[in-house]
Amino acid sequence: MDKTITIDGQIAVTLDRRGRVFNIQFMPDDEMAPVLDQSSITTGRLQQIRNGAFDYTANKSRIKANSDLIRKAAHGRLSGTRDNAFQLTLKCFASEAIDWQRAFVTETVDIMTDLMGPERMRSILKELIIKL
């Protein structure tokens, strides 16, 4: 449940040379005002409203990554996902002016060779060539 704490006091706003807010400091009137635990303060957006009041809105909590990097490639990555799957992502820009099909095959073979070892990869590639 949300909890609202109201504290009376003054606020000092320091501006930089360009007129942008550099620092904001709140000074409560009551020296015994509740002290917020640092862990309860989140990053967010503080804005001054037209009537002079300040409004603070906390950022939404960041969603953790859904995957863990296994191997990095020049044009992508191989990751293990949160749902226990493996994901190979490759991306090549047209402006790179390379043979992207060849680059994707080469990088995939390089990644898999690193993971499986050259002997096992050689065996798998032979099987694939025979099927072609």
- pLDDT tens for 63-93 read 777 899 999 999 999 999 988 999 999 999 9
Q: Which residue has the tokens 């904001």?
A: 24
90 contacts 75 by C-beta, under 8 angstroms:
yes
Rounded Cα distance between 12 and 23, Å, is: 8
For the chain (132 residues), the mean pLDDT of every run of 10, in chain order, is 77 82 78 67 73 73 82 93 92 92 94 93 92 85
Q: Which residue has the tokens 């906390």?
A: 58
Instruction: Tell me what pLDDT residue 23 has.
Output: 76
Rounded Cα distance between 47 and 53, Å, is: 9
**Which tokens hold the place of 33?**
């005002």
